[in-house]
Structure formats: structure tokens, C-alpha cells
Amino acid sequence: MPNVFDLTILGSNSSYPFHGRMCTSQILRVDQNLYMIDCGEGTQIQLSKFSIQRNKIKAIFLSHFHGDHLYGLPGMITSYMHFGRKEPLHIFGPVGLKKYLETVFEVSNVYLQFELILIETVWDVSGLIFEDQHLQVFNFPLDHRIPTQGFIFKTKETNRNIIPEKIQEFGLTHQEIKELKAGSTIVTSNGITVTTENACFPPKPDCTYVFASDTKPISKFPELAYDCNLLYHEATYLADLETLAIERGHSTSTHAATAAKEIRAKKLMLGHFSSRYDNLNPFLAESKLVFENTILAIDGETHAIN
């Protein structure tokens, strides 16, 4: 597990920026690497306001193409021409991603100086869509008005730590320690076979973040989502507007809390609040009746997931 695994909220409002809340966007940090989830209007303003280095964003994951999750994207990408980006940028989204960006770039006559890798995902089947040395990302289907996917971010085991006493006990060299930490079995100059399990502390447990927005309550989450460290679930409305929520493909605070309880999440974060609500405290109160460990998504706040 990485040393740092945290989430910064850039936007928590639905539909349009209001009450000082921007539209959906989040930054997931895994040690020095950043990953963006959704890119609603105003995302660039938030990146500057909260001093987030946009060149460190390795990949962007888009849940769906409603404007409040998407309309910050072209500006965000073209801004890289002013930030000297050279690293490739991966963007994942449902079918339509290529058409949308290619159209915008064509009419605006945009030429990028870095590689943009657009991946159109199969949104209605759960699967692994991205993997690097830090984490695995899986998508899964949500139930909204247009094709919409949720994401499961799962950290990968990194190098283990050596048990100091074992260095002398086995007479380990610098190179042998390096190999053991990386998971290899070694044979010392004295002919002793040493495994990672013999010489290193056990690995830290995996850590999982689940993003579910926008959606009606879904009947089944993928197995991988169960026992997650943090579930972000949309709660566009309070429970008295349940009928409206379902009609519009959204959830209430109670729906979100029920989902958290169902998948045994360790913590629940509510977000994607309707502009009709200025005061968000009732969301917290309603959710806690079902799931105690609930917090609210607040623009600019960072929460440790591990």
C-alpha cells in the first residue's frame, strides 16, 4: 500500500456551480501521482485555488457525459499547452469520448504537444480498465439516464519493509535486501535460501476507494467494492424527494447510506448536492440514521483513505 492515498474534492454540486460549490471533480493522490475523476465546469479554477499541480495528473476517469461532469475537460486539456506538458495523458470514458474531444479540437484548431490516449470503455460490464505500478482501476455499471460508470480504485502492494534484525542474521547485502523487498527469494553467499516472508514485514493491506455518481440506487455492487475504505455516493436529494430522485436517475442521502451499509464500507462520503440545498447538515443527519460514519464532500477538503 502506498504511503499517501487521499482524495481532494474539487466540486460537489450537481447541475451547475452554486452556493460556492463547483460541479463534480475529484483528485485521487497515490504518493506523488494524481488521478482525476470527472471534470465539471470550474475544475481548472479549483486546481489553481487548491494548488494542485496539474502536470502530475496521469489519467482522467469520466463517469458519464452530462455537462456537470464533463464541460471542464476541453479547457483542462488545452491548458496543458501553457504548462509545458510532455507526459502522455490517459482519459477513460464511455463511447462518445473521442467524438466529443475530436469535434472540440477540430473547431478550435487545437494541436497538442503531448500524447492524448483516449479509451472508450464498455460501461455496462464491470472490468479492469487501467493498471500501473501504483493502482488498479475497475469500472462498473451505474443506473442513470445515460450510460454511466462507477469506479473502484484499488492500491497495489508496493515493496515490503525489511526486518532490521534479519540483515545481520542472514548477512544480507544491499542488493539482496533490495531483491527481498521486491518479493524475490535469494540464496546468500553462505548457501542459505531466504524468502521475502522470512526477512520482511507482512505487506500492508490493500486500500480501496469506490466512486458511485450519478446513479439511482443500484441493486448490486461488484464484489471488489465490498469492505472498501471509502465509498463516495451521490446524494442529490434528501429522503423526502425520493420519488423525484428516482425519476431523474439520482439517489437520496438514505439511498447512499443504505448502499454503504450493504457493501460494509468503512466510511461514506456524500456529494453531488442539488442546488436547491444551501445547508447540507440535513444530509449528514439523515445518512447517519442508517450509516454512522458519514462525511460530506466539501470543495477543497482532502481526506486520507488509508
Q: Which residues are catalytic?
A: 68
Task: Write down the least CB distance from residue 276 to Zn ion, Å.
Answer: 14
- Under rule CB under 5 A, residue 38 binds Zn ion: no
Closest CA to 31 of 136, 138, 133, 163: 133
Task: Write down the least CB distance from residue 245 to Zn ion, Å.
Answer: 12
Which CB, 67 or 171, lies closer to Zn ion? 67
> Helix, strand, coil proportions of the chain in percent (round to 5)?
30, 30, 45
List Cα–Cα distances, 244 to 59, 164, 238, in angstroms: 34, 60, 10
Positions in 201-220 near Zn ion (CB under 5 A): 214
Task: Write down the least CB distance from residue 15 to Zn ion, Å.
Answer: 7
3-state secondary structure of 272: coil
Which CB, 68 or 176, lies closer to Zn ion? 68
Using the contact rule CB under 5 A, the part of the chain among 61-69, 88-96, 105-113, 117-125 near Zn ion is 61-69
Task: Write down the least CB distance from residue 298 to Zn ion, Å.
Answer: 17
Q: Residue 171's CB: how many other CB atoms inside 10 A?
A: 13
Q: Residue 16's CB: how many other CB atoms inside 10 A?
A: 15
Using the contact rule CB under 5 A, the part of the chain among 68-76, 93-101, 118-126, 196-204 near Zn ion is 68-76
- Under rule CB under 5 A, residue 41 binds Zn ion: no
Residues in CB range of 165: below 8 A, 6 or more apart: none
Residue nearest to Zn ion (CB): 66
Binding mask 6-35 for Zn ion (x = CB under 5 A): --------x---------------------
The three three-digit cell numbers of residue 303, written as one number: 481526506
List Cα–Cα distances, 305 to 50, 272, 275, 296, in angstroms: 19, 19, 27, 14
Using the contact rule CB under 5 A, the part of the chain among 48-56, 64-72, 108-116, 127-135 near Zn ion is 64-72
CA distance 117 to 92: 9
Task: Write down the least CB distance from residue 124 to Zn ion, Å.
Answer: 16
CA distance 139 to 129: 7
- Under rule CB under 5 A, residue 250 binds Zn ion: no
Which CB, 5 or 273, lies closer to Zn ion? 273
CA distance 162 to 176: 11
Which CB, 41 or 68, lies closer to Zn ion? 68
- Under rule CB under 5 A, residue 68 binds Zn ion: yes
- Under rule CB under 5 A, residue 66 binds Zn ion: yes
The residues of the shown chain that bind Zn ion, judged by CB under 5 A, are 14, 66, 68, 214
